[in-house]
A and B are shown apart, each in its own frame.
Chain A
Protein backbone atom coordinates (compact mmCIF):
# COMPACT_ATOMS: atom_id res chain seq x y z
CA UNK A 1 0.00 0.00 0.00
CA UNK A 2 1.42 3.40 -0.88
CA UNK A 3 1.00 6.82 0.64
CA UNK A 4 -2.11 7.53 -1.39
CA UNK A 5 -4.11 4.44 -0.62
CA UNK A 6 -3.68 4.14 3.13
CA UNK A 7 -6.90 5.89 4.13
CA UNK A 8 -5.64 9.42 4.38
CA UNK A 9 -2.72 8.42 6.60
CA UNK A 10 0.63 10.05 6.06
CA UNK A 11 2.99 7.16 5.40
CA UNK A 12 6.46 6.80 3.94
CA UNK A 13 6.84 4.76 0.77
CA UNK A 14 7.24 1.16 1.84
CA UNK A 15 9.78 -1.45 0.90
CA UNK A 16 8.56 -4.38 -1.16
CA UNK A 17 8.64 -8.04 -0.17
CA UNK A 18 11.68 -8.82 -2.28
CA UNK A 19 13.75 -6.30 -0.35
CA UNK A 20 12.55 -7.67 2.98
CA UNK A 21 13.52 -11.17 1.93
CA UNK A 22 17.10 -10.02 1.31
CA UNK A 23 17.15 -9.13 5.02
CA UNK A 24 15.92 -12.57 6.00
CA UNK A 25 12.36 -11.43 6.69
CA UNK A 26 9.44 -13.30 5.15
CA UNK A 27 6.60 -10.75 5.15
CA UNK A 28 3.60 -11.98 7.15
CA UNK A 29 0.36 -12.27 5.14
CA UNK A 30 -2.39 -9.78 6.06
CA UNK A 31 -4.65 -12.37 7.69
CA UNK A 32 -1.87 -13.33 10.13
CA UNK A 33 -0.45 -9.88 10.90
CA UNK A 34 -2.64 -9.00 13.88
CA UNK A 35 -2.14 -12.32 15.60
CA UNK A 36 1.64 -12.10 15.08
CA UNK A 37 1.77 -8.53 16.35
CA UNK A 38 -0.03 -9.51 19.55
CA UNK A 39 2.39 -12.37 20.07
CA UNK A 40 5.33 -9.95 19.73
CA UNK A 41 3.70 -7.48 22.13
CA UNK A 42 3.37 -10.29 24.64
CA UNK A 43 7.08 -11.04 24.26
CA UNK A 44 8.04 -7.40 24.70
CA UNK A 45 5.97 -7.02 27.85
CA UNK A 46 7.69 -10.02 29.36
CA UNK A 47 11.14 -8.80 28.40
CA UNK A 48 11.17 -5.04 28.55
CA UNK A 49 10.47 -3.25 31.78
CA UNK A 50 10.55 0.23 30.20
CA UNK A 51 7.78 -0.88 27.85
CA UNK A 52 5.53 -2.08 30.66
CA UNK A 53 6.16 1.04 32.76
CA UNK A 54 5.09 3.28 29.87
CA UNK A 55 2.09 1.10 29.05
CA UNK A 56 0.82 1.09 32.63
CA UNK A 57 1.45 4.61 33.87
CA UNK A 58 0.29 7.40 31.56
CA UNK A 59 -2.25 9.63 33.38
CA UNK A 60 -3.08 11.70 30.27
CA UNK A 61 -1.95 14.92 31.90
CA UNK A 62 -1.12 16.26 28.46
CA UNK A 63 2.19 17.82 29.45
CA UNK A 64 4.06 16.06 26.67
CA UNK A 65 1.91 17.48 23.84
CA UNK A 66 3.51 20.88 23.38
CA UNK A 67 6.92 19.39 23.97
CA UNK A 68 6.87 17.25 20.85
CA UNK A 69 7.91 19.06 17.68
CA UNK A 70 5.83 16.66 15.56
CA UNK A 71 2.64 17.64 17.34
CA UNK A 72 3.58 21.32 17.29
CA UNK A 73 4.15 21.07 13.54
CA UNK A 74 1.16 18.93 12.52
CA UNK A 75 -1.42 19.43 15.32
CA UNK A 76 -2.37 15.81 14.75
CA UNK A 77 -3.49 14.26 18.09
CA UNK A 78 -1.82 10.97 17.20
CA UNK A 79 1.45 12.90 17.23
CA UNK A 80 0.99 13.83 20.86
CA UNK A 81 3.48 11.49 22.54
CA UNK A 82 0.77 9.99 24.77
CA UNK A 83 -1.46 9.60 21.69
CA UNK A 84 1.32 7.89 19.80
CA UNK A 85 1.94 5.46 22.66
CA UNK A 86 -1.83 4.88 22.90
CA UNK A 87 -1.71 3.24 19.47
CA UNK A 88 -0.06 0.34 21.26
CA UNK A 89 -1.42 0.96 24.74
CA UNK A 90 -5.03 0.28 23.69
CA UNK A 91 -4.08 -3.16 22.44
CA UNK A 92 -1.90 -3.76 25.50
CA UNK A 93 -4.91 -3.04 27.73
CA UNK A 94 -7.23 -5.19 25.67
CA UNK A 95 -5.05 -8.29 25.65
CA UNK A 96 -2.93 -8.06 28.78
CA UNK A 97 -4.97 -6.37 31.53
CA UNK A 98 -7.98 -7.84 33.36
CA UNK A 99 -9.95 -4.55 33.16
CA UNK A 100 -9.31 -4.26 29.46
CA UNK A 101 -10.38 -7.82 28.81
CA UNK A 102 -13.63 -7.24 30.76
CA UNK A 103 -14.60 -3.66 29.98
CA UNK A 104 -12.91 -2.96 26.64
CA UNK A 105 -13.43 0.58 25.32
CA UNK A 106 -14.75 1.77 28.72
CA UNK A 107 -11.20 1.56 30.04
CA UNK A 108 -9.47 2.56 26.83
CA UNK A 109 -8.89 -0.95 25.58
CA UNK A 110 -9.28 -1.76 21.91
CA UNK A 111 -8.86 -4.77 19.62
CA UNK A 112 -5.81 -4.63 17.39
CA UNK A 113 -6.74 -4.47 13.70
CA UNK A 114 -4.97 -4.13 10.38
CA UNK A 115 -6.15 -0.55 10.36
CA UNK A 116 -4.38 0.12 13.64
CA UNK A 117 -1.22 -1.42 12.22
CA UNK A 118 -1.45 1.07 9.35
CA UNK A 119 -1.60 3.80 11.98
CA UNK A 120 1.46 2.33 13.68
CA UNK A 121 3.30 2.58 10.40
CA UNK A 122 2.24 6.17 9.96
CA UNK A 123 2.86 7.50 13.45
CA UNK A 124 5.87 5.47 14.53
CA UNK A 125 7.62 6.82 11.46
CA UNK A 126 6.63 10.36 12.36
CA UNK A 127 8.32 10.07 15.75
CA UNK A 128 12.00 11.00 15.68
CA UNK A 129 12.81 9.07 18.88
CA UNK A 130 14.15 12.34 20.25
CA UNK A 131 12.98 11.75 23.85
CA UNK A 132 11.89 15.29 24.54
CA UNK A 133 8.59 13.82 25.74
CA UNK A 134 10.28 11.60 28.27
CA UNK A 135 12.30 14.55 29.54
CA UNK A 136 9.03 16.40 30.19
CA UNK A 137 6.78 13.63 31.46
CA UNK A 138 6.43 13.66 35.27
CA UNK A 139 6.78 9.87 35.19
CA UNK A 140 9.62 9.87 32.68
CA UNK A 141 7.56 7.79 30.29
CA UNK A 142 9.58 7.28 27.15
CA UNK A 143 7.53 7.29 23.97
CA UNK A 144 10.71 6.81 21.93
CA UNK A 145 10.92 3.31 23.44
CA UNK A 146 7.36 2.63 22.35
CA UNK A 147 8.19 3.81 18.86
CA UNK A 148 11.11 1.39 18.84
CA UNK A 149 8.86 -1.48 19.87
CA UNK A 150 6.33 -0.50 17.21
CA UNK A 151 8.94 -0.22 14.46
CA UNK A 152 10.52 -3.53 15.45
CA UNK A 153 7.22 -5.39 15.28
CA UNK A 154 6.38 -3.77 11.94
CA UNK A 155 9.78 -4.85 10.63
CA UNK A 156 9.14 -8.45 11.65
CA UNK A 157 5.77 -8.29 9.90
CA UNK A 158 7.51 -7.05 6.75
CA UNK A 159 6.41 -3.41 6.99
CA UNK A 160 9.02 -0.68 6.75
CA UNK A 161 9.99 2.38 4.76
CA UNK A 162 11.93 1.93 1.55
CA UNK A 163 14.58 4.28 2.95
CA UNK A 164 15.27 2.35 6.17
CA UNK A 165 14.94 -1.07 4.57
CA UNK A 166 17.22 -0.26 1.63
CA UNK A 167 19.71 1.23 4.09
CA UNK A 168 19.61 -2.00 6.09
CA UNK A 169 20.39 -3.81 2.84
CA UNK A 170 23.43 -1.58 2.32
CA UNK A 171 24.57 -2.34 5.87
CA UNK A 172 24.57 -6.08 5.24
CA UNK A 173 26.38 -5.63 1.95
CA UNK A 174 29.01 -3.03 2.82
CA UNK A 175 28.87 -2.19 6.54
CA UNK A 176 27.72 1.35 5.86
CA UNK A 177 24.47 3.13 5.06
CA UNK A 178 25.48 4.64 1.74
CA UNK A 179 26.84 1.45 0.24
CA UNK A 180 30.34 2.93 -0.01
CA UNK A 181 32.87 0.61 -1.58
CA UNK A 182 36.53 0.51 -0.60
CA UNK A 183 37.47 2.03 -3.98
CA UNK A 184 35.01 4.88 -3.45
CA UNK A 185 36.22 5.48 0.10
CA UNK A 186 39.87 5.69 -0.92
CA UNK A 187 39.16 7.90 -3.92
CA UNK A 188 37.11 10.31 -1.80
CA UNK A 189 39.75 10.51 0.91
CA UNK A 190 42.46 11.24 -1.66
CA UNK A 191 40.28 14.00 -3.06
CA UNK A 192 39.84 15.50 0.41
CA UNK A 193 43.59 15.37 1.11
CA UNK A 194 44.17 17.29 -2.13
CA UNK A 195 41.57 19.87 -1.17
CA UNK A 196 43.26 20.45 2.18
CA UNK A 197 46.60 20.79 0.48
CA UNK A 198 45.17 23.43 -1.85
CA UNK A 199 43.21 25.32 0.80
CA UNK A 200 45.78 25.18 3.56
CA UNK A 201 49.03 26.15 1.98
CA UNK A 202 50.36 22.73 1.16
CA UNK A 203 49.33 21.11 4.44
CA UNK A 204 49.57 17.35 4.09
CA UNK A 205 46.95 15.28 5.90
CA UNK A 206 46.72 11.54 5.55
CA UNK A 207 43.47 9.58 5.78
CA UNK A 208 44.58 6.02 6.49
CA UNK A 209 42.16 3.22 5.69
CA UNK A 210 42.45 -0.37 6.91
CA UNK A 211 45.92 0.36 8.28
CA UNK A 212 47.15 -2.52 10.48
CA UNK A 213 48.63 -1.83 13.92
CA UNK A 214 46.69 1.38 14.39
CA UNK A 215 45.95 2.63 17.89
CA UNK A 216 42.76 4.49 17.07
CA UNK A 217 39.87 3.42 14.89
CA UNK A 218 37.88 6.44 13.76
CA UNK A 219 34.29 5.73 12.82
CA UNK A 220 32.97 8.39 10.45
CA UNK A 221 29.43 8.74 9.22
CA UNK A 222 29.14 7.42 5.66
CA UNK A 223 27.10 10.50 4.75
CA UNK A 224 30.26 12.55 5.30
CA UNK A 225 31.63 10.88 2.15
CA UNK A 226 28.78 12.28 0.11
CA UNK A 227 27.45 15.41 1.77
CA UNK A 228 29.62 16.60 4.66
CA UNK A 229 33.23 16.57 3.47
CA UNK A 230 34.34 19.23 5.95
CA UNK A 231 33.48 16.99 8.86
CA UNK A 232 35.79 14.29 7.52
CA UNK A 233 38.49 16.84 6.79
CA UNK A 234 38.20 18.27 10.28
CA UNK A 235 38.66 14.83 11.80
CA UNK A 236 41.72 14.17 9.62
CA UNK A 237 43.29 17.48 10.60
CA UNK A 238 42.59 16.87 14.27
CA UNK A 239 44.25 13.46 14.22
CA UNK A 240 47.21 14.90 12.36
CA UNK A 241 47.57 17.73 14.85
CA UNK A 242 47.71 15.37 17.81
CA UNK A 243 49.98 12.96 15.93
CA UNK A 244 47.64 10.00 16.36
CA UNK A 245 48.31 6.56 14.95
CA UNK A 246 44.83 6.24 13.51
CA UNK A 247 42.85 4.60 10.75
CA UNK A 248 39.39 4.20 9.36
CA UNK A 249 38.05 0.84 8.23
CA UNK A 250 36.39 0.17 4.90
CA UNK A 251 34.40 -2.64 6.52
CA UNK A 252 32.75 -0.37 9.06
CA UNK A 253 32.69 3.13 7.63
CA UNK A 254 29.59 4.05 9.54
CA UNK A 255 28.92 5.95 12.74
CA UNK A 256 25.17 5.52 12.37
CA UNK A 257 23.15 2.40 12.86
CA UNK A 258 19.85 2.21 10.98
CA UNK A 259 19.40 -1.17 12.64
CA UNK A 260 18.85 0.71 15.86
CA UNK A 261 16.13 2.69 14.07
CA UNK A 262 14.21 -0.24 12.65
CA UNK A 263 15.54 -3.64 13.62
CA UNK A 264 17.38 -3.73 16.90
CA UNK A 265 18.26 -7.37 16.45
CA UNK A 266 19.91 -8.72 13.31
CA UNK A 267 20.74 -5.43 11.57
CA UNK A 268 21.93 -3.57 14.64
CA UNK A 269 24.09 -6.50 15.65
CA UNK A 270 25.71 -6.68 12.22
CA UNK A 271 27.34 -3.29 12.80
CA UNK A 272 28.60 -4.26 16.24
CA UNK A 273 30.05 -7.52 14.98
CA UNK A 274 31.88 -5.75 12.17
CA UNK A 275 33.20 -3.15 14.57
CA UNK A 276 34.79 -5.70 16.84
CA UNK A 277 36.11 -7.88 14.06
CA UNK A 278 37.87 -4.84 12.65
CA UNK A 279 39.29 -3.89 16.05
CA UNK A 280 40.83 -7.33 16.29
CA UNK A 281 42.19 -7.29 12.73
CA UNK A 282 43.71 -3.84 13.02
CA UNK A 283 44.97 -4.12 16.60
CA UNK A 284 42.86 -1.21 17.81
CA UNK A 285 43.30 0.17 21.34
CA UNK A 286 40.63 2.84 21.26
CA UNK A 287 37.54 3.60 19.19
CA UNK A 288 36.68 7.23 18.42
CA UNK A 289 33.20 7.93 17.14
CA UNK A 290 32.31 10.56 14.52
CA UNK A 291 29.39 12.98 14.32
CA UNK A 292 26.14 11.04 14.42
CA UNK A 293 23.51 11.40 17.14
CA UNK A 294 21.57 8.15 17.04
CA UNK A 295 24.72 6.28 16.07
CA UNK A 296 26.62 7.48 19.12
CA UNK A 297 23.69 6.49 21.30
CA UNK A 298 23.56 3.06 19.69
CA UNK A 299 27.32 2.72 20.15
CA UNK A 300 27.69 4.07 23.65
CA UNK A 301 24.61 2.44 25.14
CA UNK A 302 24.22 -0.80 23.24
CA UNK A 303 27.50 -2.00 21.79
CA UNK A 304 28.83 -3.80 24.84
CA UNK A 305 25.59 -5.70 25.36
CA UNK A 306 25.46 -6.68 21.68
CA UNK A 307 28.98 -7.96 21.47
CA UNK A 308 29.47 -11.69 21.33
CA UNK A 309 33.19 -11.15 21.86
CA UNK A 310 33.72 -10.20 25.51
CA UNK A 311 37.46 -9.51 25.16
CA UNK A 312 37.11 -6.71 22.66
CA UNK A 313 34.10 -5.25 24.45
CA UNK A 314 36.68 -3.76 26.82
CA UNK A 315 38.20 -1.50 24.15
CA UNK A 316 37.51 2.07 25.28
CA UNK A 317 35.20 4.07 23.08
CA UNK A 318 34.82 7.85 23.03
CA UNK A 319 33.21 10.48 20.86
CA UNK A 320 35.45 12.81 18.88
CA UNK A 321 33.87 15.73 20.74
CA UNK A 322 35.05 14.21 24.03
CA UNK A 323 38.56 13.96 22.63
CA UNK A 324 38.70 17.49 21.29
CA UNK A 325 37.11 19.06 24.38
CA UNK A 326 39.53 17.28 26.72
CA UNK A 327 42.54 18.58 24.80
CA UNK A 328 41.12 22.10 24.70
CA UNK A 329 40.58 22.06 28.45
CA UNK A 330 44.14 20.94 29.08
CA UNK A 331 45.39 23.69 26.76
CA UNK A 332 46.97 21.36 24.24
CA UNK A 333 45.47 22.60 20.98
CA UNK A 334 46.50 25.70 19.08
CA UNK A 335 43.22 27.17 17.85
CA UNK A 336 42.38 30.46 16.20
CA UNK A 337 38.70 31.22 16.86
CA UNK A 338 38.73 34.30 14.61
CA UNK A 339 38.90 31.98 11.61
CA UNK A 340 35.26 31.16 12.39
CA UNK A 341 34.09 34.69 13.05
CA UNK A 342 30.53 34.63 11.73
CA UNK A 343 27.66 34.67 14.18
CA UNK A 344 27.03 31.02 14.87
CA UNK A 345 24.50 29.01 16.83
CA UNK A 346 24.50 25.39 17.94
CA UNK A 347 21.75 22.84 17.40
CA UNK A 348 22.01 20.17 20.12
CA UNK A 349 21.46 16.75 18.58
CA UNK A 350 18.81 15.14 20.79
CA UNK A 351 20.64 11.88 21.10
CA UNK A 352 23.77 13.59 22.39
CA UNK A 353 22.08 15.71 25.02
CA UNK A 354 19.18 13.51 26.10
CA UNK A 355 20.67 10.08 25.68
CA UNK A 356 24.47 10.27 25.86
CA UNK A 357 25.47 13.04 28.27
CA UNK A 358 27.33 14.82 25.46
CA UNK A 359 26.49 18.47 26.03
CA UNK A 360 29.06 20.67 27.79
CA UNK A 361 31.82 19.28 25.58
CA UNK A 362 30.17 20.89 22.55
CA UNK A 363 30.20 24.26 24.32
CA UNK A 364 33.84 23.91 25.30
CA UNK A 365 34.65 23.35 21.64
CA UNK A 366 32.36 26.09 20.32
CA UNK A 367 33.90 28.69 22.60
CA UNK A 368 37.41 27.69 21.60
CA UNK A 369 36.92 27.53 17.83
CA UNK A 370 34.46 30.35 17.09
CA UNK A 371 34.40 34.00 18.10
CA UNK A 372 30.68 34.86 18.00
CA UNK A 373 28.75 31.96 19.49
CA UNK A 374 25.13 32.48 20.47
CA UNK A 375 22.89 29.87 22.10
CA UNK A 376 19.43 29.19 20.74
CA UNK A 377 16.52 28.86 23.17
CA UNK A 378 15.73 26.36 24.53
CA UNK A 379 19.03 24.53 24.38
CA UNK A 380 20.99 21.64 25.86
CA UNK A 381 18.73 18.83 27.10
CA UNK A 382 15.67 21.00 26.49
CA UNK A 383 16.46 21.52 22.84
CA UNK A 384 13.94 20.61 20.14
CA UNK A 385 14.68 18.00 17.47
CA UNK A 386 15.57 19.08 13.94
CA UNK A 387 12.59 17.08 12.66
CA UNK A 388 14.61 14.44 10.86
CA UNK A 389 15.61 12.30 13.83
CA UNK A 390 15.57 8.51 13.61
CA UNK A 391 16.08 8.76 9.87
CA UNK A 392 12.69 10.18 8.89
CA UNK A 393 14.46 11.79 5.93
CA UNK A 394 11.77 10.77 3.47
CA UNK A 395 11.47 12.58 0.16
CA UNK A 396 8.09 11.35 -1.09
CA UNK A 397 5.86 14.45 -1.20
CA UNK A 398 3.59 13.76 1.82
CA UNK A 399 6.50 12.85 4.07
CA UNK A 400 8.71 15.65 2.83
CA UNK A 401 5.95 18.07 3.70
CA UNK A 402 5.79 16.43 7.13
CA UNK A 403 9.55 16.89 7.65
CA UNK A 404 9.28 20.58 6.96
CA UNK A 405 6.27 20.93 9.31
CA UNK A 406 8.14 19.01 11.98
CA UNK A 407 11.00 21.48 11.69
CA UNK A 408 8.82 24.57 12.25
CA UNK A 409 9.92 24.80 15.84
CA UNK A 410 13.58 24.44 14.93
CA UNK A 411 13.31 27.11 12.24
CA UNK A 412 11.75 29.50 14.74
CA UNK A 413 14.56 28.84 17.22
CA UNK A 414 17.26 29.44 14.62
CA UNK A 415 15.62 32.58 13.27
CA UNK A 416 15.50 34.15 16.72
CA UNK A 417 19.28 33.89 17.11
CA UNK A 418 19.93 35.87 13.90
CA UNK A 419 22.90 33.59 13.34
CA UNK A 420 24.61 33.23 9.95
CA UNK A 421 25.86 29.74 10.61
CA UNK A 422 24.03 26.78 12.14
CA UNK A 423 26.26 24.13 13.65
CA UNK A 424 24.56 20.71 13.71
CA UNK A 425 27.02 17.97 14.66
CA UNK A 426 24.98 14.93 13.59
CA UNK A 427 24.57 13.45 10.11
CA UNK A 428 20.82 13.10 10.28
CA UNK A 429 20.48 16.64 11.62
CA UNK A 430 22.62 17.87 8.72
CA UNK A 431 20.65 15.93 6.11
CA UNK A 432 17.44 17.35 7.58
CA UNK A 433 18.67 20.91 8.03
CA UNK A 434 20.11 21.41 4.54
CA UNK A 435 16.60 21.37 2.98
CA UNK A 436 14.99 22.77 6.12
CA UNK A 437 16.85 26.07 5.99
CA UNK A 438 15.97 26.37 2.32
CA UNK A 439 12.25 25.70 2.84
CA UNK A 440 12.03 28.04 5.80
CA UNK A 441 14.09 30.65 3.95
CA UNK A 442 16.68 30.89 6.71
CA UNK A 443 19.83 32.67 5.55
CA UNK A 444 22.17 30.29 7.37
CA UNK A 445 24.87 27.84 6.38
CA UNK A 446 24.73 24.40 8.01
CA UNK A 447 28.03 22.98 9.26
CA UNK A 448 29.35 20.31 11.62
CA UNK A 449 31.36 20.98 14.76
CA UNK A 450 34.52 19.13 13.75
CA UNK A 451 34.45 21.15 10.52
CA UNK A 452 35.00 24.24 12.64
CA UNK A 453 37.75 22.57 14.64
CA UNK A 454 39.66 21.71 11.48
CA UNK A 455 39.29 25.24 10.24
CA UNK A 456 40.52 26.78 13.49
CA UNK A 457 43.49 24.46 14.07
CA UNK A 458 46.78 26.27 13.54
CA UNK A 459 49.52 24.13 12.02
CA UNK A 460 53.12 25.30 12.30
CA UNK A 461 53.86 24.25 8.71
CA UNK A 462 50.94 26.16 7.15
Chain B
Protein backbone atom coordinates (compact mmCIF):
# COMPACT_ATOMS: atom_id res chain seq x y z
CA UNK B 1 0.00 0.00 0.00
CA UNK B 2 1.21 3.52 -0.70
CA UNK B 3 2.03 6.04 2.01
CA UNK B 4 1.78 9.81 2.00
CA UNK B 5 3.67 12.15 4.27
CA UNK B 6 1.57 14.56 6.31
CA UNK B 7 3.37 16.84 8.76
CA UNK B 8 6.28 14.46 8.88
CA UNK B 9 4.07 11.43 9.59
CA UNK B 10 3.68 8.47 7.23
CA UNK B 11 -0.02 7.92 6.53
CA UNK B 12 -1.15 4.79 4.74
CA UNK B 13 -3.67 5.27 1.92
CA UNK B 14 -5.41 2.91 -0.51
CA UNK B 15 -5.23 2.93 -4.32
CA UNK B 16 -7.74 5.78 -4.41
CA UNK B 17 -5.82 7.84 -1.89
CA UNK B 18 -8.23 7.22 1.02
CA UNK B 19 -6.80 6.52 4.46
CA UNK B 20 -6.81 2.83 5.30
CA UNK B 21 -7.09 3.40 9.05
CA UNK B 22 -9.64 6.03 10.16
CA UNK B 23 -8.17 5.93 13.67
CA UNK B 24 -4.86 7.29 12.35
CA UNK B 25 -6.53 10.55 11.28
CA UNK B 26 -5.36 13.90 12.65
CA UNK B 27 -6.45 17.38 11.72
CA UNK B 28 -3.67 18.07 9.23
CA UNK B 29 -4.94 15.11 7.18
CA UNK B 30 -8.08 17.05 6.29
CA UNK B 31 -6.00 19.97 5.00
CA UNK B 32 -3.75 17.61 3.09
CA UNK B 33 -6.62 15.78 1.31
CA UNK B 34 -8.48 19.07 0.74
CA UNK B 35 -5.66 20.22 -1.52
CA UNK B 36 -5.97 17.09 -3.65
CA UNK B 37 -9.71 17.69 -3.97
CA UNK B 38 -9.17 21.24 -5.14
CA UNK B 39 -10.65 22.72 -1.96
CA UNK B 40 -8.81 25.96 -1.17
CA UNK B 41 -9.99 26.64 2.35
CA UNK B 42 -11.75 24.66 5.04
CA UNK B 43 -14.69 26.69 6.30
CA UNK B 44 -16.87 26.07 9.35
CA UNK B 45 -19.36 24.28 7.13
CA UNK B 46 -16.63 21.95 5.86
CA UNK B 47 -15.78 21.09 9.43
CA UNK B 48 -19.40 20.61 10.35
CA UNK B 49 -19.68 17.90 7.67
CA UNK B 50 -16.33 16.32 8.44
CA UNK B 51 -16.97 16.22 12.17
CA UNK B 52 -20.42 14.75 11.74
CA UNK B 53 -19.05 12.04 9.42
CA UNK B 54 -16.31 11.15 11.85
CA UNK B 55 -18.65 11.05 14.79
CA UNK B 56 -21.18 8.90 12.94
CA UNK B 57 -18.46 6.57 11.76
CA UNK B 58 -17.06 6.17 15.25
CA UNK B 59 -20.48 5.05 16.53
CA UNK B 60 -21.78 3.08 13.57
CA UNK B 61 -18.73 1.87 11.65
CA UNK B 62 -20.07 3.23 8.38
CA UNK B 63 -20.78 6.60 6.76
CA UNK B 64 -24.33 7.92 7.25
CA UNK B 65 -27.03 8.01 4.62
CA UNK B 66 -26.55 11.21 2.66
CA UNK B 67 -29.99 12.52 3.51
CA UNK B 68 -29.25 12.08 7.20
CA UNK B 69 -25.98 13.96 6.81
CA UNK B 70 -27.87 16.89 5.27
CA UNK B 71 -30.53 16.86 7.93
CA UNK B 72 -28.18 16.61 10.90
CA UNK B 73 -25.76 19.27 9.65
CA UNK B 74 -28.52 21.48 8.28
CA UNK B 75 -26.59 21.83 5.01
CA UNK B 76 -28.60 21.03 1.87
CA UNK B 77 -27.18 18.53 -0.61
CA UNK B 78 -26.50 21.15 -3.25
CA UNK B 79 -24.32 23.10 -0.86
CA UNK B 80 -22.53 19.94 0.24
CA UNK B 81 -21.56 19.44 -3.40
CA UNK B 82 -20.28 23.01 -3.49
CA UNK B 83 -18.21 22.34 -0.39
CA UNK B 84 -16.95 18.97 -1.61
CA UNK B 85 -17.00 18.90 -5.43
CA UNK B 86 -16.56 15.10 -5.63
CA UNK B 87 -19.55 14.66 -3.34
CA UNK B 88 -20.29 13.75 0.25
CA UNK B 89 -19.69 10.01 -0.14
CA UNK B 90 -16.29 10.47 -1.72
CA UNK B 91 -14.75 13.90 -1.12
CA UNK B 92 -16.03 14.49 2.38
CA UNK B 93 -15.21 10.96 3.53
CA UNK B 94 -11.68 11.32 2.21
CA UNK B 95 -11.04 14.47 4.21
CA UNK B 96 -12.41 12.86 7.35
CA UNK B 97 -10.24 9.77 6.95
CA UNK B 98 -13.23 7.47 6.32
CA UNK B 99 -12.71 4.61 3.87
CA UNK B 100 -13.91 5.05 0.31
CA UNK B 101 -17.45 3.71 -0.09
CA UNK B 102 -17.60 0.48 -2.08
CA UNK B 103 -20.40 -0.98 -4.20
CA UNK B 104 -22.95 0.88 -6.30
CA UNK B 105 -22.17 4.50 -5.47
Contacts and interface: CB of A to CB of B under 8 A. Distances in A.
A223 B61 contact: no
Contacts of B86: 395
B24 interface: no
Given A170-B102, A177-B103, A178-B101, A162 B65 contact: no
Given A16-B1, A18-B1, A188-B64, A226 B16 contact: no
A191 interface: yes
A71 interface: no
A391 B104 contact: yes
B103 A170 contact: yes
A393 interface: yes
A232 B14 CA distance: 31
Interface string A223-267: 101110100000000000000000000000000101000000000
B63 A226 contact: yes
A430 B14 contact: no
A383 interface: no
B23 interface: no
B17 to A, nearest CB: 10
Contacts of B14: 162, 166
- The prevalent SS among residues of B at the interface is loop
B102 A166 contact: yes
A183 interface: yes
A221 interface: yes
Interface residues of A, number: 42
A184 B60 contact: yes
Interface string B81-103: 00000100110000000011111
Interface in A23-64: none
Contacts of A258: 103
A16 B17 CA distance: 13
Interface string B3-29: 000000000001110000000000000
Q: Which of A222, A256, A393, A396 has the most CB of B within 10 A?
A: A222
B105 A180 contact: no
A223 B105 contact: yes
B68 to A, nearest CB: 5
Given A188-B68, A223-B104, A428-B104, A13 B62 contact: no
A396 B14 CA distance: 14
Given A14-B15, A15-B15, A162-B14, A223 B68 contact: no
Nearest to A427: B104
A147 interface: no
A222 to B, nearest CB: 6
Contact of A223 (B15, B60, B99, B103): B103
Contact of A256 (B63, B89, B90, B104): B104
Contacts of A227: 66, 89, 104-105
Contacts of B1: 16, 18
Contacts of B65: 188, 191, 225-226, 229
B67 A179 contact: no
B43 interface: no
A166 B14 CA distance: 10
A226 B65 CA distance: 4
B100 to A, nearest CB: 7
A176 interface: yes
Contacts of B59: 183
A163 interface: yes
A13 B105 contact: no
A229 B102 CA distance: 17
B104 A177 contact: yes
B105 A393 contact: yes
A181 interface: yes
A187 interface: yes
Nearest to A435: B87
B105 A191 contact: no
A410 to B, nearest CB: 17
Contact of A162 (B15, B67, B105): B15
27 contacts: A13-B15, A13-B16, A162-B16, A163-B102, A167-B102, A170-B103, A178-B62, A179-B102, A180-B62, A183-B59, A183-B61, A184-B60, A184-B61, A187-B64, A188-B64, A188-B65, A188-B68, A191-B65, A222-B104, A226-B63, A226-B66, A227-B89, A258-B103, A391-B104, A395-B90, A427-B104, A430-B104
The 7 A-B pairs with the shortest beta carbon distances in the complex, nearest first, are A177-B103, A184-B62, A181-B61, A223-B104, A184-B60, A167-B102, A427-B104
Interface of A: 13-16, 18-19, 162-163, 166-167, 169-170, 176-181, 183-184, 187-188, 191, 195, 221-223, 225-227, 229, 256, 258, 292, 391, 393, 395-396, 427-428, 430-431
Given A184-B64, A187-B64, A395-B86, 12 more contacts: A16-B1, A16-B15, A162-B15, A170-B102, A180-B62, A184-B62, A188-B64, A225-B65, A227-B66, A227-B89, A227-B105, A393-B105
